Amino acid sequence: AAEDIGGGDAVLAIPRSLWMTVDTALASPIGAHCGDEAGWIAVALQLLHERSIGEKSRWAAYVNALPAQLDAPLFWSADEVAELTGTQLLDAAAGYDSYVRGTWARLKESAFDADPNVFPSDAFDEASFLWAFGILRSRCQAPMDQGADIALVPGLDMANHSGLSSQTWTLNNGGVAAVFGGGGGGGSMLLRTEKGAKGLVAAGTEVFMNYGQRKIDNQLALDYGFTDAFASRPGYVLGPIAVPESDPNCFDKMDVLEVAGLKEAPSFVLRAFEDPEPELRVFMRLLNLKGEDSFLLEAIFRQEAWGLVSEPVSRLNEQEACGTMINGCEEALRGYATRVEDDRRVAEDPGVGHRLRLAARVRMGEKQALEDALGFFSGVEARLDSMEYYQERRLRSLNLLDKDGNSTYDPFQDTMA
């Protein structure tokens, strides 16, 4: 900051006219070839085009400031990637690699080879296309990071991440707010400090933003090639998990998920040092609902089914719900090639390269989240005999059970009545 900034003030505003968007891509020389492509492909191709024409580009200063080398696992060597064995990060990075290389191969055949004047081979080779994808993943921030809205916002994307900050991009779609924010016509993207004393920034200090307040370490590592040393968020993403089609109650369970506002195949985040989110326990009960408990899936209960399974249904169902999680965590932990002690030693060794330390931190974080979840569900399993299940709750609500769980039904009284 060149001067003191007050809490809630706009630090920087970038007008829409300076962004690189799907619309600017379509209006550029490469536009005729990307009208039917996904938004990220259009912007990636424009980025490569602007880089290829050098100082002739109106974005030349911005493109020249972009890093030539990226630290995300997509750009690691085979030996470095091997350090991620067993991790979710490896699976995600491999998915990126396969998808982006496959997309490049398709574009090469359909567009690049057909029009080499627009797509010179030295500017649109596979390595360059991977670089453009990496730039988009590391510099496009919400709400301009998905679908047709994806955009590179020069200047604003230079703000570094801090997990201790809650500052994010704010979109002003024109009007008074954009004008006073410095946006001008067409709206702008702002980086605004937090309100109150927490948002004060002294002159000479760096202004940070948060790249994702709920992102865990392996998600930050995937797109940005780092984890936050001061606000570590170790975790493990569970899912997406779909109800098996072989389940005789599959469609009923999917209906329950839809009524509850969840996806047909939801995902859940296991966070180290935190209990699993309640929705995960409910989903595991629903996933394992069968036999005599399946009556809760009947149409008459459809609107309230999610609420009914938000508490233990039966001893067998709760045991199987816990067992699903316990077995899954144990299987995932067996997939790691290193021990936690080995990971910690590497992560804390300043003489080891950044990427090896990052891999070690990710391994530790994922394992910690899995071990904590394993401990949680093992603890629940140990308490099965002391839980109250649906039938007991139902009888109690009808005053047919007393506070000690004994039946209040008196057949003699019923006969006399």
Indicate which residues carry an active-site annotation.
211
**Cβ atoms within 10 Å, residue 15:** 18
String of DSSP letters for 62-112:
HHHHS-SS--SGGG--HHHHHTTTTSHHHHHHHHHHHHHHHHHHHHIIIII
- Identify whether the C-beta of residue 202 lies closer than 8 Å to the C-beta of residue 225: no
User: What's the alpha-carbon Rg for the chain, to the nearest Å?
Assistant: 27
Residue-wise over 108-130: b if at least 16 C-beta within 10 A, else e?
A: beebbeeeeebbeeeebbeebbb
Nearest to 27 by CA among 41, 46, 10: 46
Q: Are 317 and 285 in contact (CB under 8 A)?
A: yes
Cα–Cα distance, 256 to 264 (Å, whole number): 9
Pairing of strands 151-152, 169-172: unpaired
The answer to whether 157 and 164 are in contact (CB under 8 A) is no
Edge-first strand order for the sheet with 10-15 is: 10-15, 188-192, 169-172
- Please tell me the distance from the alpha carbon of residue 398 to that of residue 392, in angstroms, as a whole number: 10
- Residue that the structure tokens 């619309």 belong to: 23
Q: Would you call the peptide bond into 240 cis, given omega within 30 degrees of 0 as the criterion?
A: yes
The CA distance from 105 to 94, in Å, is 16
Residue 349: name the closest of 335, 339, 337, 359 by CA. 359
C-beta of residue 332 within 8 angstroms of C-beta of residue 363: no
- Amino acid identity, position 334: R
Q: How many other β-carbons are positioned within 10 Å of the β-carbon of residue 294? A: 13
The three-state secondary structure class of 190 is strand
Report d(CA 47, CA 113) in Å as an integer: 19
Please provide residue 180's backbone torsions phi and psi, each rounded to the nearest 5 degrees: -70, -20
